[in-house]
Amino acid sequence: MTDTVVEVEGLTKRYGELTAVEDVSFRVASGRVVGLLGRNGAGKTTTLRMLLGLARPTSGHATVFGLPYGELPRAAHRVGVSMDGIGPSNAATGRGDLRIWASALGLGRKRVDEVLERVGLEGDAHRRLRGYSTGMRQRHALATALLADPELLILDEPANGLDPDGIRWLREFLRSLADEGRTVLLSSHLLAEVEQIADDIVILQRTLRYSGTAADLTRDGSVSLEDRFFELAGTAGKEPSHA
């Protein structure tokens, strides 16, 4: 399918004299895994926050399923989010925290157990979240995002804190979600991992450097994503060559 799920048009965000994001435009098509790539501070999280209505753009606009997120009916059911600042209570257990979210979404306890099993946390669901490792917290965040069986997942750095086994699991897990017809938009600075999973790539370095298919970007795999990233985004502290 090629239906547009996310549309970002001319997004700019300034904080006083600092421009965090400038004139960024891209689209996300249904059923695709899209990697939003950039260095720390490149504007990835700011862009996602504007998309979700958590930050107001200085100019430009963004829509999800054709509407601003704040105007989208049943937005919390159609869009699953994993992002810093949208997190659990450390005092709760893994299962208890998910039950709070499920209740707010009008979902039953059976759904909580389903997502815990899907992310591999069913054996640790009785433990308090304060005792979870970083990798377990990432899995728990994914479980929260999946609770309402969303059509679109927006994930901010979902691989942070995962060990090699966890990263491999995440790669296969996200691919399986797309194979079910869901759309996944994930931000990351782990180029090698994104190269193995993403259908499409968006590269930010404050402004848009690339938006298109991974195959076109890497010339059907003849050039690595890492090499193309540095061509387009430049090395740290230097402007790209625009070659």
pLDDT at 243: 38
* Cα atoms in the 13 Å half-sphere on the side-chain side of 51: 33
Each residue of 226-236: pLDDT tens digit?
999 999 998 76
**pTM exceeds 0.85:** yes
Place domain 1-65+151-243 in its CATH homologous superfamily: P-loop containing nucleotide triphosphate hydrolases (3.40.50.300)
Quick check: 201 and 209 in contact, CB under 8 A? no
CB atoms within 10 A of CB 217: 23
Quick check: 148 and 76 in contact, CB under 8 A? yes
Q: Which helix (H) or strand (E) holds 136?
A: helix 134-146
Between 63 and 163, whose confidence is greater? 63
pLDDT band at 1 (very low <50, low <70, confident <90, very high): very low
Residue corresponding to tokens 């547009």: 4
Detail the DSSP E strand segments found in 17-57.
Answer: 18-29, 33-37
pLDDT band at 242 (very low <50, low <70, confident <90, very high): very low
Q: Which two three-digit tokens encode residue 113? A: 């157990």
Q: Which two three-digit tokens encode residue 92? A: 């709760």
Between 193 and 55, whose confidence is greater? 55
Q: Which two three-digit tokens encode residue 19? A: 């421009």
Each residue of 12-50: pLDDT tens digit?
999 999 999 999 999 999 999 999 999 988 999 999 999
194 burial level (CB within 10 Å; 0-12, 13-18, 19+): buried
Q: Running DSSP on this structure, what letter comes out for residue 182? A: -
Quick check: 34 and 201 in contact, CB under 8 A? yes
**Radius of gyration for the alpha carbons in the chain, expressed in angstroms and rounded:** 18
Mean pLDDT of 67-84: 95
Q: Which two three-digit tokens encode residue 115? A: 């997502």
So where are the chain's domains? Answer: 1-65+151-243, 85-147
pLDDT band at 240 (very low <50, low <70, confident <90, very high): low
Beta bridge partners of 4: 29
- Helix%, strand%, coil% for the chain, nearest 5: 35, 30, 35
- Indicate the average pLDDT of the chain: 91
Task: Give me the percent of the chain exceeding a pLDDT of 70.
Answer: 93
pLDDT at 8: 98
Mean pLDDT of 159-169: 87
